[in-house]
Amino acid sequence: MNDDHAATSTADPEHRAECSDSIDRSLIQQVPGRARADSHLPTGGGAGESDTTIIENGLKWTFLAIRMVHLVQGVICVASGWSTYRRPRVAAAVLGMVGAESTWLLVRVIRRRNVDALAIRVDAAIGVMGLVGLASATSVEDRTTSFNWMLPYSVGTAVGLVVGVGRQEGFAEVAALSGTYLGTTVRPSIRPGQIVTALANAASYAGFHAVAAAVVRRVRQASEELAEAQAESAVRGERLLIERERNRQHRLLHDSALQTLEGVANGLIDVDESIRGRARAEARRLRQALSGIEPEGDLADALDRLAADFASEGLEVTCTLGESSPLRAATTLALAEAVREALRNVKKYAGTPTVVVRAEPSDGGMTVTVRDQGQGFDPEVIAPGFGLSQSVHGRLAEVNGRAEIWSKPGRGTRVTLWVPVE
Protein backbone atom coordinates (compact mmCIF):
# COMPACT_ATOMS: atom_id res chain seq x y z
CA MET A 1 0.00 0.00 0.00
CA ASN A 2 1.64 3.25 -1.13
CA ASP A 3 0.70 6.75 -0.12
CA ASP A 4 -0.69 9.05 -2.78
CA HIS A 5 1.66 11.56 -4.34
CA ALA A 6 1.52 15.26 -3.57
CA ALA A 7 -0.16 17.45 -6.17
CA THR A 8 2.00 20.04 -7.91
CA SER A 9 1.13 23.52 -9.12
CA THR A 10 2.72 26.18 -11.28
CA ALA A 11 1.34 29.02 -9.17
CA ASP A 12 3.77 31.21 -7.29
CA PRO A 13 4.51 29.58 -3.87
CA GLU A 14 4.49 32.87 -1.92
CA HIS A 15 1.18 33.85 -3.48
CA ARG A 16 -0.32 30.47 -2.59
CA ALA A 17 0.94 30.77 0.99
CA GLU A 18 -0.54 34.27 1.40
CA CYS A 19 -3.90 33.18 -0.03
CA SER A 20 -3.93 30.05 2.13
CA ASP A 21 -3.13 32.00 5.28
CA SER A 22 -5.88 34.52 4.54
CA ILE A 23 -8.43 31.77 3.89
CA ASP A 24 -7.39 29.85 7.00
CA ARG A 25 -7.76 32.90 9.23
CA SER A 26 -11.24 33.61 7.90
CA LEU A 27 -12.31 30.00 8.31
CA ILE A 28 -10.99 29.87 11.89
CA GLN A 29 -13.28 32.79 12.71
CA GLN A 30 -16.22 31.03 11.04
CA VAL A 31 -15.85 27.71 12.88
CA PRO A 32 -16.75 28.12 16.57
CA GLY A 33 -16.51 24.39 17.27
CA ARG A 34 -12.91 24.31 16.06
CA ALA A 35 -12.02 27.36 18.15
CA ARG A 36 -13.42 25.65 21.24
CA ALA A 37 -11.46 22.51 20.50
CA ASP A 38 -8.23 24.50 20.50
CA SER A 39 -9.15 26.76 23.43
CA HIS A 40 -6.25 25.32 25.46
CA LEU A 41 -3.81 27.19 23.25
CA PRO A 42 -2.29 30.37 24.77
CA THR A 43 -3.92 33.58 23.67
CA GLY A 44 -3.11 37.23 24.03
CA GLY A 45 -6.31 38.32 25.73
CA GLY A 46 -7.84 37.79 29.14
CA ALA A 47 -10.39 39.30 31.46
CA GLY A 48 -8.26 39.01 34.59
CA GLU A 49 -5.60 41.29 35.94
CA SER A 50 -2.26 41.41 34.19
CA ASP A 51 0.80 40.03 35.94
CA THR A 52 2.26 43.55 36.16
CA THR A 53 -0.86 44.77 37.99
CA ILE A 54 -0.69 41.83 40.37
CA ILE A 55 2.97 42.59 41.12
CA GLU A 56 2.26 46.27 41.78
CA ASN A 57 -0.67 45.36 44.03
CA GLY A 58 1.60 43.04 45.97
CA LEU A 59 4.15 45.80 46.50
CA LYS A 60 1.43 48.25 47.50
CA TRP A 61 -0.14 45.98 50.10
CA THR A 62 3.26 44.97 51.45
CA PHE A 63 4.08 48.64 52.10
CA LEU A 64 0.70 49.24 53.78
CA ALA A 65 1.10 46.11 55.94
CA ILE A 66 4.50 47.32 57.14
CA ARG A 67 2.89 50.64 57.99
CA MET A 68 0.20 48.99 60.08
CA VAL A 69 2.84 47.06 62.04
CA HIS A 70 4.73 50.27 62.84
CA LEU A 71 1.54 51.99 63.95
CA VAL A 72 0.85 49.14 66.35
CA GLN A 73 4.39 49.52 67.68
CA GLY A 74 3.71 53.20 68.30
CA VAL A 75 0.48 52.50 70.17
CA ILE A 76 2.21 49.93 72.39
CA CYS A 77 5.14 52.24 73.16
CA VAL A 78 2.96 55.24 74.03
CA ALA A 79 0.54 53.17 76.11
CA SER A 80 3.18 51.21 78.03
CA GLY A 81 5.70 54.03 78.43
CA TRP A 82 3.36 56.92 79.14
CA SER A 83 5.08 57.79 82.39
CA THR A 84 8.53 57.49 80.80
CA TYR A 85 7.97 60.15 78.16
CA ARG A 86 9.01 63.64 79.11
CA ARG A 87 5.94 65.03 77.33
CA PRO A 88 3.51 62.10 76.98
CA ARG A 89 0.76 64.24 75.46
CA VAL A 90 3.13 65.31 72.68
CA ALA A 91 3.96 61.65 72.05
CA ALA A 92 0.21 60.90 71.85
CA ALA A 93 -0.27 63.87 69.50
CA VAL A 94 2.48 62.57 67.22
CA LEU A 95 0.83 59.15 67.25
CA GLY A 96 -2.49 60.75 66.32
CA MET A 97 -0.85 62.72 63.49
CA VAL A 98 0.83 59.70 61.89
CA GLY A 99 -2.31 57.62 62.45
CA ALA A 100 -4.43 60.18 60.59
CA GLU A 101 -1.86 60.41 57.79
CA SER A 102 -1.70 56.64 57.50
CA THR A 103 -5.50 56.45 57.26
CA TRP A 104 -5.45 59.08 54.51
CA LEU A 105 -2.68 57.15 52.76
CA LEU A 106 -4.65 53.89 52.95
CA VAL A 107 -7.82 55.48 51.53
CA ARG A 108 -5.89 57.20 48.75
CA VAL A 109 -4.05 54.08 47.73
CA ILE A 110 -7.27 52.02 47.66
CA ARG A 111 -9.11 54.62 45.60
CA ARG A 112 -6.26 55.26 43.15
CA ARG A 113 -5.16 51.60 43.16
CA ASN A 114 -1.51 52.57 43.41
CA VAL A 115 1.01 54.33 45.64
CA ASP A 116 1.51 57.60 43.79
CA ALA A 117 4.30 60.16 44.18
CA LEU A 118 2.17 62.67 46.14
CA ALA A 119 1.23 60.07 48.74
CA ILE A 120 4.88 59.10 49.22
CA ARG A 121 6.03 62.72 49.48
CA VAL A 122 3.40 63.49 52.11
CA ASP A 123 4.38 60.33 53.96
CA ALA A 124 8.05 61.37 53.96
CA ALA A 125 7.18 64.86 55.21
CA ILE A 126 5.07 63.40 58.02
CA GLY A 127 7.99 61.10 58.85
CA VAL A 128 10.32 64.06 59.27
CA MET A 129 7.75 65.94 61.40
CA GLY A 130 7.11 62.85 63.50
CA LEU A 131 10.83 62.40 64.24
CA VAL A 132 11.09 66.01 65.40
CA GLY A 133 7.85 65.85 67.42
CA LEU A 134 8.67 62.59 69.20
CA ALA A 135 12.20 63.80 69.98
CA SER A 136 10.68 66.72 71.87
CA ALA A 137 8.54 64.25 73.85
CA THR A 138 11.45 62.04 74.96
CA SER A 139 14.63 62.59 76.90
CA VAL A 140 17.96 62.64 75.03
CA GLU A 141 18.89 59.24 76.49
CA ASP A 142 15.64 57.62 75.28
CA ARG A 143 15.86 58.81 71.67
CA THR A 144 18.01 55.82 70.66
CA THR A 145 15.77 53.32 72.46
CA SER A 146 12.48 51.67 71.54
CA PHE A 147 10.57 54.62 72.99
CA ASN A 148 11.49 56.47 69.79
CA TRP A 149 9.08 54.37 67.73
CA MET A 150 9.29 56.93 64.93
CA LEU A 151 12.60 55.30 63.94
CA PRO A 152 11.07 52.05 62.58
CA TYR A 153 8.07 54.01 61.35
CA SER A 154 10.21 56.36 59.26
CA VAL A 155 12.42 53.48 58.08
CA GLY A 156 9.20 51.99 56.68
CA THR A 157 8.66 55.31 54.92
CA ALA A 158 12.14 54.99 53.38
CA VAL A 159 11.19 51.54 52.10
CA GLY A 160 7.96 52.88 50.60
CA LEU A 161 9.88 55.50 48.62
CA VAL A 162 11.04 52.85 46.15
CA VAL A 163 7.41 52.17 45.16
CA GLY A 164 6.22 55.70 44.44
CA VAL A 165 9.09 57.99 43.42
CA GLY A 166 12.18 57.89 41.25
CA ARG A 167 15.68 56.93 42.35
CA GLN A 168 17.13 60.42 42.78
CA GLU A 169 14.14 61.78 44.69
CA GLY A 170 14.14 58.66 46.81
CA PHE A 171 17.80 59.14 47.78
CA ALA A 172 17.12 62.80 48.67
CA GLU A 173 14.17 61.96 50.93
CA VAL A 174 16.07 59.09 52.56
CA ALA A 175 18.86 61.56 53.31
CA ALA A 176 16.31 63.95 54.84
CA LEU A 177 14.87 61.23 57.08
CA SER A 178 18.29 59.96 58.13
CA GLY A 179 19.60 63.49 58.76
CA THR A 180 16.53 64.38 60.82
CA TYR A 181 17.01 61.31 62.98
CA LEU A 182 20.70 62.11 63.59
CA GLY A 183 19.90 65.77 64.27
CA THR A 184 17.36 64.86 66.93
CA THR A 185 19.40 62.14 68.67
CA VAL A 186 23.07 63.10 68.63
CA ARG A 187 23.87 65.57 71.42
CA PRO A 188 27.19 66.33 73.22
CA SER A 189 25.72 64.98 76.44
CA ILE A 190 24.98 61.44 75.27
CA ARG A 191 27.34 58.53 75.88
CA PRO A 192 29.69 57.21 73.14
CA GLY A 193 27.70 54.00 72.95
CA GLN A 194 24.54 55.95 72.17
CA ILE A 195 26.35 57.82 69.39
CA VAL A 196 27.29 54.49 67.78
CA THR A 197 23.68 53.33 68.11
CA ALA A 198 22.41 56.56 66.54
CA LEU A 199 24.83 56.25 63.60
CA ALA A 200 23.85 52.62 63.02
CA ASN A 201 20.17 53.52 63.13
CA ALA A 202 20.72 56.38 60.70
CA ALA A 203 22.52 54.03 58.31
CA SER A 204 19.54 51.66 58.39
CA TYR A 205 17.51 54.20 56.37
CA ALA A 206 19.85 53.91 53.40
CA GLY A 207 20.37 50.19 53.92
CA PHE A 208 16.70 49.22 53.96
CA HIS A 209 15.97 51.60 51.10
CA ALA A 210 18.74 50.07 48.96
CA VAL A 211 17.62 46.51 49.67
CA ALA A 212 13.99 47.36 48.93
CA ALA A 213 15.00 49.14 45.71
CA ALA A 214 16.96 46.10 44.54
CA VAL A 215 14.10 43.72 45.35
CA VAL A 216 11.44 45.90 43.69
CA ARG A 217 13.61 46.45 40.63
CA ARG A 218 14.19 42.71 40.22
CA VAL A 219 10.51 41.88 40.78
CA ARG A 220 9.41 44.44 38.19
CA GLN A 221 12.04 43.22 35.75
CA ALA A 222 10.82 39.64 36.19
CA SER A 223 7.26 40.84 35.64
CA GLU A 224 8.24 42.51 32.36
CA GLU A 225 10.11 39.41 31.23
CA LEU A 226 7.06 37.29 32.03
CA ALA A 227 4.80 39.65 30.07
CA GLU A 228 7.12 39.44 27.06
CA ALA A 229 7.22 35.65 27.30
CA GLN A 230 3.42 35.50 27.47
CA ALA A 231 3.13 37.76 24.42
CA GLU A 232 5.52 35.53 22.47
CA SER A 233 3.59 32.47 23.62
CA ALA A 234 0.34 34.03 22.42
CA VAL A 235 1.84 34.65 18.98
CA ARG A 236 3.15 31.09 18.79
CA GLY A 237 -0.23 29.77 19.92
CA GLU A 238 -2.02 31.72 17.19
CA ARG A 239 0.40 30.43 14.57
CA LEU A 240 -0.10 26.87 15.81
CA LEU A 241 -3.87 27.30 15.67
CA ILE A 242 -3.65 28.59 12.10
CA GLU A 243 -1.37 25.74 11.10
CA ARG A 244 -3.71 23.18 12.63
CA GLU A 245 -6.67 24.69 10.83
CA ARG A 246 -4.75 24.75 7.55
CA ASN A 247 -3.86 21.06 7.94
CA ARG A 248 -7.45 20.24 8.84
CA GLN A 249 -8.73 21.94 5.69
CA HIS A 250 -6.12 20.24 3.54
CA ARG A 251 -7.01 16.86 5.03
CA LEU A 252 -10.71 17.44 4.39
CA LEU A 253 -10.05 18.16 0.73
CA HIS A 254 -7.47 15.42 0.36
CA ASP A 255 -9.57 12.70 2.00
CA SER A 256 -12.87 13.52 0.28
CA ALA A 257 -13.52 15.64 -2.79
CA LEU A 258 -9.96 15.53 -4.10
CA GLN A 259 -9.96 11.72 -4.15
CA THR A 260 -13.17 11.65 -6.18
CA LEU A 261 -11.97 14.34 -8.58
CA GLU A 262 -8.66 12.56 -9.17
CA GLY A 263 -10.44 9.26 -9.80
CA VAL A 264 -12.78 10.84 -12.35
CA ALA A 265 -9.99 12.85 -13.99
CA ASN A 266 -7.71 9.80 -14.33
CA GLY A 267 -10.48 7.56 -15.65
CA LEU A 268 -10.36 5.33 -12.58
CA ILE A 269 -14.00 5.99 -11.70
CA ASP A 270 -16.95 5.86 -14.06
CA VAL A 271 -19.39 8.66 -13.45
CA ASP A 272 -22.69 7.01 -12.62
CA GLU A 273 -25.42 7.43 -10.00
CA SER A 274 -23.23 5.87 -7.28
CA ILE A 275 -20.49 8.42 -7.93
CA ARG A 276 -23.03 11.22 -7.83
CA GLY A 277 -24.22 9.89 -4.48
CA ARG A 278 -20.66 9.70 -3.24
CA ALA A 279 -20.04 13.29 -4.35
CA ARG A 280 -23.17 14.41 -2.50
CA ALA A 281 -22.06 12.56 0.65
CA GLU A 282 -18.59 14.09 0.52
CA ALA A 283 -20.01 17.57 -0.04
CA ARG A 284 -22.25 17.07 3.00
CA ARG A 285 -19.25 15.88 5.01
CA LEU A 286 -17.24 18.95 4.03
CA ARG A 287 -20.07 21.32 4.98
CA GLN A 288 -20.48 19.65 8.36
CA ALA A 289 -16.76 19.75 9.10
CA LEU A 290 -16.40 23.41 8.11
CA SER A 291 -19.41 24.23 10.29
CA GLY A 292 -17.88 22.48 13.30
CA ILE A 293 -20.53 19.72 13.36
CA GLU A 294 -19.04 16.44 14.55
CA PRO A 295 -20.42 13.18 13.06
CA GLU A 296 -22.85 11.31 15.28
CA GLY A 297 -22.24 7.80 16.61
CA ASP A 298 -19.37 5.87 18.14
CA LEU A 299 -16.36 4.12 16.63
CA ALA A 300 -18.41 1.08 15.56
CA ASP A 301 -20.83 3.33 13.65
CA ALA A 302 -17.93 5.14 12.00
CA LEU A 303 -16.31 1.88 10.86
CA ASP A 304 -19.64 0.59 9.52
CA ARG A 305 -20.07 3.77 7.48
CA LEU A 306 -16.55 3.39 6.08
CA ALA A 307 -17.21 -0.22 5.15
CA ALA A 308 -20.39 0.80 3.31
CA ASP A 309 -18.66 3.68 1.52
CA PHE A 310 -15.81 1.52 0.22
CA ALA A 311 -18.12 -1.37 -0.66
CA SER A 312 -19.74 0.93 -3.21
CA GLU A 313 -16.27 1.38 -4.73
CA GLY A 314 -15.57 -2.33 -4.99
CA LEU A 315 -13.46 -2.78 -1.83
CA GLU A 316 -14.77 -5.38 0.61
CA VAL A 317 -14.03 -4.23 4.18
CA THR A 318 -14.41 -6.80 6.95
CA CYS A 319 -14.75 -5.09 10.34
CA THR A 320 -14.31 -6.85 13.67
CA LEU A 321 -14.81 -4.91 16.89
CA GLY A 322 -13.71 -6.17 20.27
CA GLU A 323 -14.82 -4.75 23.59
CA SER A 324 -15.26 -1.05 22.84
CA SER A 325 -14.18 1.78 25.12
CA PRO A 326 -15.89 5.18 24.93
CA LEU A 327 -13.94 7.83 23.03
CA ARG A 328 -14.35 11.57 22.76
CA ALA A 329 -16.04 12.76 19.57
CA ALA A 330 -12.83 14.43 18.35
CA THR A 331 -10.83 11.25 19.01
CA THR A 332 -13.38 9.09 17.21
CA LEU A 333 -13.35 11.44 14.23
CA ALA A 334 -9.54 11.48 14.03
CA LEU A 335 -9.35 7.69 14.26
CA ALA A 336 -12.08 7.17 11.64
CA GLU A 337 -10.47 9.59 9.20
CA ALA A 338 -7.11 7.88 9.64
CA VAL A 339 -8.77 4.55 8.87
CA ARG A 340 -10.42 6.14 5.82
CA GLU A 341 -7.04 7.19 4.46
CA ALA A 342 -5.59 3.73 5.09
CA LEU A 343 -8.51 2.15 3.21
CA ARG A 344 -8.15 4.70 0.43
CA ASN A 345 -4.55 3.64 -0.08
CA VAL A 346 -5.57 -0.03 -0.10
CA LYS A 347 -8.10 0.76 -2.84
CA LYS A 348 -5.60 2.74 -4.91
CA TYR A 349 -2.36 0.79 -4.51
CA ALA A 350 -2.70 -2.60 -2.82
CA GLY A 351 -4.21 -4.41 -5.78
CA THR A 352 -6.53 -6.50 -3.63
CA PRO A 353 -10.33 -6.42 -3.34
CA THR A 354 -10.44 -7.23 0.38
CA VAL A 355 -9.12 -5.70 3.60
CA VAL A 356 -9.65 -6.46 7.30
CA VAL A 357 -10.20 -3.76 9.93
CA ARG A 358 -10.00 -4.81 13.59
CA ALA A 359 -10.64 -2.56 16.59
CA GLU A 360 -9.86 -3.56 20.18
CA PRO A 361 -8.80 -1.91 23.47
CA SER A 362 -5.09 -2.03 24.34
CA ASP A 363 -2.52 -0.09 26.39
CA GLY A 364 -5.12 2.18 27.96
CA GLY A 365 -6.61 3.14 24.59
CA MET A 366 -8.16 1.79 21.40
CA THR A 367 -6.15 0.14 18.64
CA VAL A 368 -7.44 -0.18 15.08
CA THR A 369 -5.51 -2.36 12.66
CA VAL A 370 -6.00 -2.15 8.87
CA ARG A 371 -4.51 -5.27 7.21
CA ASP A 372 -4.43 -6.18 3.54
CA GLN A 373 -2.76 -9.02 1.63
CA GLY A 374 -1.93 -6.86 -1.36
CA GLN A 375 1.31 -6.16 -3.17
CA GLY A 376 2.85 -4.16 -0.33
CA PHE A 377 5.76 -1.73 -0.66
CA ASP A 378 9.16 -0.91 0.81
CA PRO A 379 8.79 1.92 3.38
CA GLU A 380 12.51 2.74 3.11
CA VAL A 381 12.19 3.39 -0.61
CA ILE A 382 8.84 5.16 -0.82
CA ALA A 383 8.67 8.26 1.37
CA PRO A 384 5.35 9.15 3.01
CA GLY A 385 3.33 11.85 1.28
CA PHE A 386 0.55 14.09 2.50
CA GLY A 387 -1.90 11.24 3.11
CA LEU A 388 0.28 9.36 5.61
CA SER A 389 1.95 12.40 7.17
CA GLN A 390 -1.24 14.43 7.71
CA SER A 391 -4.36 12.28 7.25
CA VAL A 392 -2.91 9.48 9.38
CA HIS A 393 0.01 10.64 11.55
CA GLY A 394 -1.13 14.25 11.73
CA ARG A 395 -4.70 13.48 12.75
CA LEU A 396 -3.69 11.04 15.47
CA ALA A 397 -0.99 13.33 16.85
CA GLU A 398 -3.63 16.01 17.49
CA VAL A 399 -5.47 13.61 19.84
CA ASN A 400 -2.26 12.24 21.41
CA GLY A 401 -2.42 9.08 19.32
CA ARG A 402 0.12 7.36 17.08
CA ALA A 403 0.37 5.28 13.92
CA GLU A 404 2.71 2.47 12.89
CA ILE A 405 3.00 1.15 9.33
CA TRP A 406 4.50 -2.19 8.36
CA SER A 407 4.77 -3.37 4.78
CA LYS A 408 6.86 -5.63 2.55
CA PRO A 409 6.66 -6.13 -1.21
CA GLY A 410 4.44 -9.13 -1.96
CA ARG A 411 3.32 -9.55 1.66
CA GLY A 412 0.82 -6.75 2.03
CA THR A 413 0.57 -3.89 4.50
CA ARG A 414 -0.50 -3.46 8.11
CA VAL A 415 -1.42 -0.03 9.53
CA THR A 416 -1.79 0.07 13.31
CA LEU A 417 -3.56 3.09 14.80
CA TRP A 418 -3.78 3.82 18.55
CA VAL A 419 -5.59 6.56 20.46
CA PRO A 420 -5.93 7.09 24.22
CA VAL A 421 -9.20 6.63 26.05
CA GLU A 422 -9.92 9.89 27.91
- Whole-angstrom distance, CA of residue 235 vs CA of residue 248: 20
Most confident range, picked from 136-145, 253-262, 290-299:
136-145
Most confident range, picked from 32-46, 51-65, 197-211:
197-211
The mean-pLDDT minimum among 123-127, 298-302, 379-383 falls in 379-383
pLDDT 10s digits, 174-192: 999 999 999 999 888 788 8
What is the model's pTM?
0.49
The pLDDT of residue 3 is above 70: no
- Whole-angstrom distance, CA of residue 382 vs CA of residue 163: 66
Neighbouring residues of 201: CB distance < 8 A, sequence distance ≥ 6? 144, 151, 181, 185
Neighbouring residues of 81: CB distance < 8 A, sequence distance ≥ 6? 147
Most confident range, picked from 222-226, 319-323, 330-334, 352-356:
352-356
Report, as an integer, the average pLDDT of 228-256: 73
The pLDDT of residue 205 is above 80: yes
Neighbouring residues of 361: CB distance < 8 A, sequence distance ≥ 6? 322, 323, 324, 325, 367, 421
- Whole-angstrom distance, CA of residue 300 vs CA of residue 363: 19
The pLDDT of residue 5 is above 80: no
Q: Is the dihedral of CA 90, 96, 101, 105 positive or negative?
A: positive
Instruction: Give the pLDDT score at 260.
Output: 63
Please determine, looking at this structure, whether the domain spanning 295-422 carries the CATH number 3.30.565.10.
yes
Full DSSP string of 293-326: PPPPS-HHHHHHHHHHHHHTTT-EEEEEE-S---
Strand order in the sheet with 316-321: 316-321, 354-362, 365-372, 412-420, 402-408
pLDDT band at 4 (very low <50, low <70, confident <90, very high): very low
Task: Provide the residue ranges of all domains of the chain, joining segments of one domain with +.
Answer: 51-227, 256-293, 295-422
Instruction: Give the pLDDT score at 73.
Output: 92
Instruction: Give the pLDDT score at 271.
Output: 59
Q: Bridge partners of 280?
A: none
pLDDT 10s digits, 52-78: 677 778 888 888 899 999 999 999 999
Phi then psi for residue 420, to 5 deg, are: -75, 155
Instruction: Give the pLDDT score at 16.
Output: 42
